Structure 1
Amino acid sequence: MTSLPLTIRHELPVDNAAIERLHERAFGPGRFARTAFRLREGVPPDPQLSFAAHVGTFLVGSVKVTPVGAGGHPALMLGPLTVDPAFEGRGIGAALMNRSIEAARAAGHDLIMLVGDAPYYARFGFKVVPPGQLVLPGPADPARFLALELVAGVLAQRRGEVTSARAG
């Protein structure tokens, strides 16, 4: 039996249908009501920071990063990070996270936020946002609202609402 190599590359428009099917399997219809989804709605992910993982021609994972505002300053919202259940536990999610974080750092961004599992994301440097410092536009468990400083000390300078980068 031969093993196919994992390939991680920038997400392309040709990936959209497969990524949407993956999100549907992973998160179900309730994903549209989540606060993080609402921040991303109508705003395309940054193509330089969003990646797709493939084994052969099969899409096995995806990470999207979308521009948002944080206390009146530009920031990024990471997510969803999705790995096909048949490929979980193989480091694909970590590889996608690392590639996306390094791309954001190289592009000069200073803050990445997400809503997710703190123990999982702590290994990438994400920490819980102090309660009340930044306010999401909808309900979210404060213990799951996380941030990664790409520039030391930037989180302490951000206070206020997290807003969509939607035009208008």
Structure 2
Amino acid sequence: MITLVPLLLSHQPAIDSLLDERFGPARRNRTAYRLRDRAEVLSAYSSVAFDGDQLVGSLQCWPIRLKSVGGARMPMILLGPVAVAAAREGQGIATALMRASLAALDAGDSPPVLLIGDAPFYGRFGFSAAATRHWELPGPVDHARLLLRGPATGLPRIAWVEAVPVERAGSVNPSRPAKVA
């Protein structure tokens, strides 16, 4: 039986092992990691899946921001990575993690949510690349995989997606803890 629990600092070694297994150690070279490098995971929106005492899935959320051409900065959330143990694929674990995270984000009246991923999977959760075509990241990105959830009303058409360093992480949503408990 799969149990979802909030992400804790003590889960991090098992999460890192799962991410290495699923994405390889070179995963840290990906553009999304430039956005996560100096940030702290938003535990209020992140969770892990266990089967007994074995971690079989994880989903993490991170504070980021969108910088307009005029210099205005808007808080956002970066969702991901979402990972499920290879032996457990196709069992609905990623879907359950997504639903739990999005429910927490919706309940917390979070800023817009962005991810880099496959539109066929994430589209069913309301993510689309329609508004992100002219957004730049701190590295290469396939804009068809740069997905935003929800309406783009009020978001700039041309913008830069930036990391939020640890010292500023709490500014994304002060009512939510920015550090892993």
- Deviation, structure 1 residue 13: 1.4
- TM-score, normalization by structure 2: 0.84
Cα distance in 2 between the residues matched to 1:15 and 1:102: 21
RMSD after superposition = 1.4
List alignment gaps of at least 5 residues for structure 1: none
- TM-score, normalization by structure 1: 0.90
- Partner SS for 2:38: coil
- Runs (4+) off by over 6 Å: none
- Partner SS for 1:157: coil
- Partner SS for 2:141: coil
Cα distance in 2 between the residues matched to 1:29 and 1:13: 20
Cα distance in 1 between the residues matched to 2:27 and 2:2: 27
> Aligned residue pairs: how many?
160
- Partner SS for 1:162: strand
Cα distance in 2 between the residues matched to 1:70 and 1:8: 30
- Deviation, structure 1 residue 135: 1.6
Contact 2:132–2:148 at 8 Å: present in 1 too? no
- Partner SS for 1:75: strand
Cα distance in 1 between the residues matched to 2:115 and 2:16: 19
**Are 1:101 and 2:99 an aligned pair?**
no
Instruction: Show the counterpart of 1:157.
Output: 155
Instruction: Report matched runs for 1:48-67 at 5 Å.
Output: 48-67=44-63
Instruction: Show the counterpart of 1:92.
Output: 93
In 2 relative to 1, CA 153–141 (structure 1 residues): closer, same or farther, beyond 3 Å? closer
Instruction: Report matched runs for 1:30-49 at 5 Å.
Output: 30-49=26-45
Instruction: Show the counterpart of 2:20.
Output: 24
- Deviation, structure 1 residue 52: 0.3
- Deviation, structure 1 residue 153: 4.2
Q: Percent identity?
A: 36
Cα distance in 2 between the residues matched to 1:144 and 1:130: 9
Task: Describe the superposition over 1:15-50 as per-residue Cα deviations: whole angstroms up to 9, x where unpaired.
Answer: 111100000001112211111111001211101011
